[in-house]
Amino acid sequence: MKELYNNEVSFELREKTIDESKQGSALSKDRKEGVKANGKKFYIESYGCAMNFSDSEIVASILSNEGFDSTTNHDEADLILINTCSIRDNAEQRVRARLKNFQGIKKRNPAALIGILGCMAERLKDKLLEEEKLVDIVAGPDAYRTLPDLISEADGGQKAVNVLLSREETYADISPVRLASNGVSAFISIMRGCDNMCSFCVVPFTRGRERSRDPKSIVKEAQDLYEKGFKEVTLLGQNVDSFRWSEDPKLKGKRLIEAKDSENVVNFANLLEMTAKAVPNMRIRFSTSHPKDMLDDVLHVMMRYDNICKYIHLPVQSGNSRVLDMMNRTYDREWYMNRIEAINRIIPDCGISTDVITGFCSESEEDFQDTLSLMKEVEYDMSYMFFYSERPGTLAAKRYKDDIPLEVKKKRLSRVIELQQSISLKKNKEDIGKTFEVLVEGVSKKSKTHLYGRNTQNKVIVFPDEGIRKGDFVNVKVTDCTSATLLGELL
């Protein structure tokens, strides 16, 4: 089942399929002064959302400071890591299949260690050691600082597990090693965890409580990236609009959430503004916004700064208020449509995309029709669409019956995909004749003589290579399109 649109975006912001890290072999330039190479190599493979890819860059930094070098060839690795995702059953199945493939490596090189990181590690804990006999290390998303200890334990023949979740860990002081980077665009994690408890979602269980990172460290990371030649950053969090930080020791934890916006509290709109000002020549994106928290202040900041991209990913999940209530999304259709209206009013020509789930518990044909009608009303530029997959331990798994037959879920999924394709095509056709500023990200996957990049609305544009370089900003006039891509010519 193709869950994602097949476009040219090199880094999807939603769940990705396999991406073997294309990092170069020498990390030495990223290594702290005084750290000597230990002669060992690690290989890391990442699954799931952008947060996970961003975490792999933190892991690479921790390992490089232990003296490890990285490799893209797992056959020569002393340490093989898989950073995993639990969001849907098929995401976990993919990892299990991959682990089976790794059995051969372990046979050829019994000294090699295999470690599972990320959300599946957190969800299954030491069960992974029992079920998958070849796993030596299990580390959850908040345990990466202890990887060096876990590796020593595993080297000593012990099974090494750390799946403790933290209320404080943000890895704020760790400078990520940019893996598989195009050198143009990078992620910055601004917060971790999620407190939202959407009933279908495993993330609050795998990533723990929501916590924001010190804004000073975020701005510094953006500035460092700019100095290294990057042209675009994406601020990442499961729910960026609930970003909240205070230096005031009296405003910790729950009190911080309740505190009124004041000089003592930095909220997401403030952070966005701070970042936009600190790196005025860099494009700034962010993901993901939650409809209940995305208020007008963020939209006004977006409008005020040219370097903040005019694009919002605003997952709706369903167009039916009863289903939204069962999903515990804490907004209804009317509230959601009010937010769309605010985006269109405050930021004309803003790109909007969404996530949709089909076949959630008890969803009737009429409920599903509401999702279709909402999609038509909003006219999303793009959608990420999934059929519901029950996740053990979630509120929905405990409270509701997963009662929509798989064929119906899948049929509805293909109907939303078909609808979105027709909407995307219509919206893309409206862009024909327009000129956009495009940040060039690289050579088109389909044609070596073409480059691709994105406009501020996050639409991918492909155009003939006329000696332009990756990382350049160019003006491109749209001449044609498909439902996934705009085609154009350089001006």
Q: How far is the CB of 428 from ligand F3S (least distance, A)?
A: 27
Selection from ligand SAH, ligand SF4, ligand F3S, none that 299 binds (CB < 5 to 8 A by kind) is: none
Among the listed ranges 32-40, 190-198, 446-454, 468-476, the one in contact with ligand SF4 (CB under 6 A) is 190-198
Among 3, 19, 332, 355, binds ligand SAH (CB under 6 A): 355
Q: Which residues of the shown chain bind ligand F3S in the complex (CB under 6 A)?
A: 15, 48-49, 51-52, 85-87, 118-119, 202-203, 206-207
State the Cα angle at 471 between 469 and 475, rounded to 5°: 80
Give the separation between CA 189 and CA 214, rounded to whole angstroms: 11
Give the contact letters, 233-252, x = binds to ligand SF4 (CB under 6 A), - = no: -----xx-------------
Residue 243 as a binder of ligand SAH (CB under 6 A): the answer is no
Binding flag, residue 194, ligand SF4 (CB under 6 A): yes
Binding mask 369-388 for ligand SAH (x = CB under 6 A): -----------------x-x
Regarding 204 and contact with ligand SF4 (CB under 6 A), the answer is yes
Q: Is 238 in the site for ligand SAH (CB under 6 A)?
A: yes
How big is the site for ligand SAH, counted in residues (CB under 6 A)? 18
Could you tell me which residues are beta bridge partners of residue 304? none
316 binds ligand SF4 (CB under 6 A): no
Which position among 46, 196, 267, 270 is part of the footprint of ligand SF4 (CB under 6 A)?
A: 196
Residue 204 touches which member of ligand SAH, ligand F3S, ligand SF4, none, C-beta under 5-8 Å by kind: ligand SF4
Least distance CB 402 / ligand F3S (angstroms): 18
Q: Which of residues 285-304 bind ligand SAH (CB under 6 A)?
A: 288, 290
Q: Which does 51 bind (CB under 5 to 8 A by kind): ligand SAH, ligand SF4, ligand F3S, none?
A: ligand F3S
Among 8-16, 19-27, 199-207, 437-445, the segment contacting ligand SF4 (CB under 6 A): 199-207
Residue 207 binds ligand SAH, judged by CB under 6 A: no
CB of 8 to ligand SAH, least distance (A): 21
Nearer of residues 72 and 206 to ligand F3S, judged by Cβ: 206
Q: Which stretch binds ligand SAH (CB under 6 A): 149-157, 195-203, 319-327, 371-379?
A: 195-203
Q: How far is the CB of 237 from ligand SAH (least distance, A)?
A: 8
Residues from 418 through 437 that contact ligand SF4 (CB under 6 A): none
Give the residue with the Cβ less far from ligand F3S, 16 or 74.
16
**Secondary structure in 3-state letters for the chain:** CCCCCCCCCCCCCCCEEEEECCCCCCCHHHCCCCCCCCCCEEEEEEEECHHHHHHHHHHHHHHHCCCCEECCCHHHCCEEEEEECCCCHHHHHHHHHHHHHHHHHHHHCCCCEEEEEEHHHHHHCCHHHHHCCCCCEEECCCCHHHHHHHHHHHHCCCCEEECCCCCCCCCCCCCCCCCCCCCCEEEEECEECCCCCCCCCCHHHHHCCCEECCHHHHHHHHHHHHHCCCCEEEEECCCHHHCEECCCCCCCCHHHHHCCCCCCCEEHHHHHHHHHHHCCCCEEEEECCCCCCCCHHHHHHHHHCCCECCEEECCCECCCHHHHHHCCCCCCHHHHHHHHHHHHHHCCCCEEEEEEEECCCCCCHHHHHHHHHHHHHHCCCEEEEEECCCCCCCHHHHHCCCCCCHHHHHHHHHHHHHHHHHHHHHHHHHCCCCEEEEEEEEECCCCCCEEEEECCCCCEEEEECCCCCCCCEEEEEEEEECCCCEEEEEC
Positions that interact with ligand SF4 (CB under 6 A): 194, 196-198, 201, 203-204, 238-239, 290
Positions that interact with ligand SAH (CB under 6 A): 14, 87-88, 200-201, 203, 238-239, 288, 290, 315, 317, 355, 357, 386, 388-389, 391
